[in-house]
Amino acid sequence: MGNLKEIEILLVEDNPNDVELTLRELRKYNLANKIHVAKDGGEALEYIFSAAYSGKDMDTKVLLLDLKLPKVDGLEVLQKIKSNHRTNAIAIIMLTSSAEEKDIIESYELGVDSYIIKPVDFDKFVRAVSEIGLSWQLLNQSFVEA
């Protein structure tokens, strides 16, 4: 039905409380139909690259990525995804408690689409999603401001 593709969100977060809060807010704002959770950077990379190499559409994926992760940190996940031609179309939003300038600068240098500091102001989050051009795919039309 229609040409609107379903957006998949991959939330990469090792803190169970942050996972629960983020999922609750995403549901409250009616964001996305499919949400997957990865507990560390290694799990996130495995999920993304197994999907990419199975021929799935990568421009329908959004990655909500924490910076400080076990196994593989957020910057390394970001770098690997943005440097691969099969996965570089994935929109990546860094959701992190780090307000350190070096983390912000390095994230943008590696190609992050948006950098949001936790605790998340979901109005800012929605604006960030709109700015990366996914508002019509991610948000209910009633929620998008004209």
CATH superfamily, region 8-138: Response regulator (3.40.50.2300)
The overall average pLDDT reported for the chain is: 80
pLDDT number for residue 17:
87
CA distance 44 to 141: 30
pLDDT in tens, 126-143: 666 555 555 434 443 333
Q: Which pTM was predicted?
A: 0.80
Check residues 32 and 2 and name the one with the higher pLDDT.
32
Mean pLDDT for the stretch of residues 59-77:
91
Mean pLDDT for the stretch of residues 30-46:
87
Identify the CA nearest to 3 among candidates 72, 74, 57, 66: 57
- The residue type of 58 is M
Mean pLDDT for the stretch of residues 81-95:
92
